[in-house]
Structure 1
Amino acid sequence: MSNFLGQRLRIGVAIPSTNTSAQPEMEDMRAFGVTNHIGRIIIDDDSLTHADGSNRVIENIRSATPDALRSLRHCGAGAIIAAVSPDGYWEGHAAHEALHGRLAEAAGGAKVILSADAILAALKALGGIRRIGLISPYLELGDEPVSRFFTDSGIEVAATHGLGGRTPSNISDVTPADLRDAVLAVDSPQVEAIVQVGTNVPMAAFAQAAEAWTGKPVLSNNAVLYWHALRSCGVTDPIPGRGVLYENH
């Protein structure tokens, strides 16, 4: 047996240069024999408080992500996670499919893992969930496009709560109280699962704990991305202590 560190799987993770949450959270999710390899998506820390700034962030992500994936294509990665969410949601399914095609070409044969695909796969694995509470990292400006992607996918968004990120880096400046309030704001008896989008929101551990007191799946963006990368590459062993998705699916 080979004794190299990533003997089961190597995962590339392309992360915005402003993001300080995805890398440490995904390191905590590694299964035995799986290694992570990081590439940075170089973007500016523009304001998200107005449309012009938000559009610049999206355009910067759009233009810089393929190079970040190309930087990872020669390390033998079985999958490359694009740890960004805006471009996967904001312009609907046709734009999402076009993006996936461009990134697949840049990835050079590695599976490309995007937030929208990973979350839809998780909801299907959890029994075909069709009604969610949605937590976004944005101000109200960014909440509507994210909700629209899910409704266009046949998922009812029963409630939405934005965490109010004012710049890409500022998105990570949340407290456990902020996350608790967000879960409470979108939960109701009608909601089947709670979904958090935004890869700079450090919610993986909190989401796992919140499942105990909500009694339903609480899916954090980074955890779902990493789960989908593992499962897409044949790493299917249950991983205890990381929530219902990792333990049972």
Structure 2
Amino acid sequence: MQTDAKDSRGWRRLFGVLGPSTNTSVQPDYDDMRPAGVTNHYSRIVVPDAQAISDETFLAGTQQIADNTIEAVKSVMTCKPHYLVMGMSAITFYGGAEGAAKFRHQIHEVAGVDLSTGSESLAAAIAAYGGVKRVAFVSPYYPVANAQVRNFLSDYGYETVRDIPLRCPSWTSIAKVDTPTLRQALHQLDGDDVDAILQVGTNLSMVRLAAAAEMWLGKPVIAINTATYWHALRANGIQDKVYGFGRLLEEF
């Protein structure tokens, strides 16, 4: 058997995807955006379905995700992926740009391959559109985590004009936020003082709604799952245009 033969399905790239075990949105979202020859191999970060009833309990729950990430990395590396794609976002914003870089370096040290994180991918996506200075965003988080997102964005030179923390009461409840709720949030966030609208929180699937909203709002609307998968593709030299998920994957 040829040792240099390519994977029969992932003949372009094998992506190892890291997501909390409670997350039911990342895997189907990433698979929907997957071009031919790229395969996604999901590794679950084992966490209980944390009940978030305050800033303190939300932070504690996300810290548990961070603590358990390394074991999930070690697990997925057994299939020898070329690259890692993070499927959780909250902890990648903590500590601003410096904290995001530190988190990425920690994962790289264990995996030995490069990776795309939610926070840094989002920053790269905003820059790809160009001309964005003021943003607004929605999250499933509690206010304490939204503050971390604002801090991260400010490190990249983006001013947050408005933000909405949906305060979802558990990790699994995030995936149950419906389209009317998100559509209302988009209307609340929009305004002439906002250049782009963002969505963070990977279990809050907004990849298709964001694409539709770009057409009727006439400005960038960036879902974090779209941004992270786009970043992973482009970082690996895969320039395929993937349609139905907004301008990011179609134009940049």
TM beyond 0.5: yes
- Tell me what 1:66 maps to: 70
Secondary structure, counterpart of 2:35 in structure 1: coil
Structure 1 stretches of 4+ with a deviation exceeding 3 A read none
Aligned equivalents of 2:211, 2:96: Cα separation in 1: 29
Superposed counterparts of 1:204-219, under 5 Å: 204-219=207-222
Aligned equivalents of 2:65, 2:226: Cα separation in 1: 21
- Tell me what 2:185 maps to: 182
Residues 1:82 and 2:86 are matched in the alignment: yes
Cα deviation for residue 237 of structure 1 reads: 2.1
CA RMSD, Structure 1 to Structure 2 (Å): 1.6
- Name structure 1 gaps, 5 residues minimum: none
Cα deviation for residue 2 of structure 1 reads: 5.2
- Tell me what 1:111 maps to: 114
* Alpha carbons of structure 1 residues 2 and 62: separation in structure 2 relative to 1, 3 Å: closer
- Tell me what 1:243 maps to: 246
The one-character-per-residue Cα deviations of 1:136-161 (angstroms, maximum 9, x if unpaired) are 11233432222121123210111111
Percent identity, please: 34
Please, what TM-score do these two structures have when normalized by structure 2?
Answer: 0.93
- Tell me what 2:57 maps to: 53
Secondary structure, counterpart of 1:73 in structure 2: helix
8 Å Cα contact 2:210/2:245 also seen in 1: no
Superposed counterparts of 1:1-249, under 5 Å: 4-108=8-112, 110-249=113-252
Aligned equivalents of 1:95, 1:28: Cα separation in 2: 30
Aligned equivalents of 1:69, 1:194: Cα separation in 2: 31
Aligned residues: 248
Aligned equivalents of 1:93, 1:12: Cα separation in 2: 23
What letter is aligned with 2:100? H
Secondary structure, counterpart of 2:157 in structure 1: coil
8 Å Cα contact 2:10/2:39 also seen in 1: yes
- Name structure 2 gaps, 5 residues minimum: none
What letter is aligned with 1:175? D
Q: Is 152-161 or 197-206 further displaced after alignment?
A: 152-161
Cα deviation for residue 195 of structure 1 reads: 0.7
